[in-house]
Amino acid sequence: MPTAKPEKRQFLVHLEPSLIQRTKILAVTQGTTASAVVQQALTELIERISEEAKHPTAVREGRR
């Protein structure tokens, strides 16, 4: 039985043209889509910020 793909919804953001171009270039060089690049970047950023919020002193002092 095939696995169902996770639901995805459209999310409009306004970005600088140079960032859009760099995102598209990265997607092509990685063999993926611009959407996948943005999703990965946002996921990693949110996870990092969430982790830093849990341990603010350790992050400031260079520990994790």
Domain count for the chain, please give it: 1
DSSP state of 14: -
Note whether 24 and 16 are within 8 A (CB).
no
* Its pTM surpasses 0.85: no
Quick check: is 4 in a domain? Answer: no
HSE of 61, CA atoms in CB hemisphere, 13 A: 6
**pLDDT digit string (tens) for the chain, length 64 residues:** 678 888 999 999 999 999 999 999 999 999 999 999 999 999 999 999 999 888 877 655 665 5
Under 8 Å between Cβ of 64 and 58? yes
Kindly state whether residue 5 falls inside one of the protein's structural domains: no
Q: Where are the alpha helices (DSSP H) in the chain?
A: 17-30, 34-54, 56-60
Domain range enclosing 32: 28-64
